[in-house]
Structure 1
Amino acid sequence: MTVPTVRRPGWRRIALFTVLGLMFTIGSWTAVARMTFSHGPDRQGSSNAVARVESCERVGPVSRGGIGFYWVCVAEVTAKDESPRAVRFDLDELTPDDAGKAVPVVDVDGRYRRSAETPKMPSWMPILVVGLLFLLCVIERQRSKRRWQRRMVRHSADARLSSPVCVLPAATGGGGASGRRVISPGEWSRRQYWRIAGPTVGAGALAAVLAALVGNPEGRRALFVLALFGFSAPLWLNVVTPRGYRTSRKAAHLFVSDTGIGWERLPRDEHFGLNWDEVAEVRVLTVAYDGLVLRVVDVFPVADSVLGQRPELRPFWEVGAILGPHRLPGERGAVRLPHVFSEAAVRDLRAAMTAFRPERYREFTAELGPVRREAPPTPITRGAT
């Protein structure tokens, strides 16, 4: 378990993984296409028609077959008891080398295909694929085990907070609702969601326009695939972003209900729950520094004696936070949730507390004061305003 941490994103690492992901996707696409469109020698005596090449067109470097160049040929197909007709064949089924030859073809579900032997996959290929998948699974398992089994890292604070200001005092109205709210700390706001989904849909629309203008059929198909990926962004973003984390067992969850408040992140064995008669205050602290924003949630028990009765609270007790290069102090007598909360998650927490216990919810904002090594860090006291 680690302390709440906000640092600048590692753009080099993000760019590296993006490039590697694109290379893997394009490489896999191309490899599968090469295996799909390759063929062996022609089968003799098994065809019911013959094809004679009339014209060929070279397509690439981007097409339905990935990266590379392919031949797309139009041939005159003559079948038994049928008049000759022009047929467009798939990638590399026919090439200019077949010009002047009677190439045997077969009718497969109303579409003519070259009657050729299917290349046999090398015997070592399945072993190599299974071995690589097994190796990746082992590496990912070890990495996940190290990640989920990390212990709490307690750093001594090296910065102090400026005078904190209570921006949302405890309310007196509301409350009395029943049920339970589940809050994901990394919840995306609607604006943040469409900041990614919007350009992706726009890129899909651009690909669709280009597909309508491109005369090459293979290039048009590839652009239509990209357009479909862009248009479906609002759907798959709901699966791969924090919007779908509430249903994941490996995700962190904050529970607020009519009986109490609790935290759970099962892979790291982080969990606790407090009844409302054990909670004096739930506080959100927002700290800004050099363009970075840290939002943490502190739960204040009614008395420090709760710590002796609830040993599961010890890892969360008075822990600090990291904001950029600075280590911030923890709150005295507070249980701090070990996760940074997004603006949307704080909004969800505010709505939940308003529904259940508005009189026990407050929000504070602060900034980093001058760093003085000789001065002790200044946490927010419970009575600060």
Structure 2
Amino acid sequence: MSKLKMGIIGLGRMGMEHAKHIAANAGQVEALAACALDDGQLAVAKELGFKAVYKDYKEMLDKEDIEAIIVASPTDLHTEMCAYILQHPKKIHIFCEKPLDMNVNDETESMKIYNLVKQADVVFQIGFNRRMDKQYRAAYEQIQEGKIGDPQVVKITSRDPFVISIDLIKRIGGLLVDFTTYDFDMARYMMGSNIKEVYAKGGVLIEPKLKEVDDIDTLALVLEFENGTFGLIDNSRQAVYGYDVRVEVFGSEGMLKVENVNKSAVEYYNKDNAQLKNPLPIFMERYEEAYISEMDSFIQSVKSGTPVVCSIEDVILAQRAAAAGLESLRTGKPVRVNNEF
């Protein structure tokens, strides 16, 4: 089978991660072209083996025979770039990082992409990488097998190790849009049902400067699903002990838990206390294998037509849950989520 000719737009921290995976997958993929504005990033792309580099993504798409592309640009450019690619004369499959759009309160651009995807004969996958993490995937599969009976409550904890810069928050969206959308998607994924209602409480308990950009650093959510089950999510922008992400699903016949991953499985106990390693320090390490798996999954979907692991519908539903959460924070009341397309 011929190699899939791939390109990438954006070589920031996620884009560079994907670029490395493409370059390392020489058996299935040809690293054809990369686009970024930074000369240093483009130099790294050349070192990785990308045949051509560009600063203008439109020029790259016009000149190169790209069959599939990764959109890892700043979040506020996702819809613009995806729309251009989907309307390009060439047939180009798309892997787009999440969220699709920062403006979750106005679906105009997201629904434009949704309609273009439905009209185009292309694979379109969203980068909710946690679905491909082997720990979460194992829990999901056991739920599907009925090991805990009927799922009743899902509890998700997501806490970053440090507060990211205000400038970065401006570019990628606030806590609910950039951060909690992962949890909304994971909650739907584990429970097998759409989120019906969101009730949110949040505030600034860590970094006062977040008030200047109308954001928060601490969040607690109660979810109700369409099938009558419930969810609890807690988020923080700063856990001093590391990247803290855990999931628990409770059911009629048992419970499944996905705990933190650390660098050592060795725990030390004595008469006074117990010691174990902290969680991994950052999401890039925690989900390193998941990033590879989600890209492998995308490549296989393009080559063999298998369904994508995370669709355009999935990201829009996560964004709608985020919009409901923002409205709940504003009003202090539970807010219904629109799940219709």
TM bucket normalised to smaller = under 0.3
Q: Which has the higher contact order (CA 8 A, sep 6+)?
A: 1
Bigger Cα Rg: 1
TM-score by length of 2: 0.23
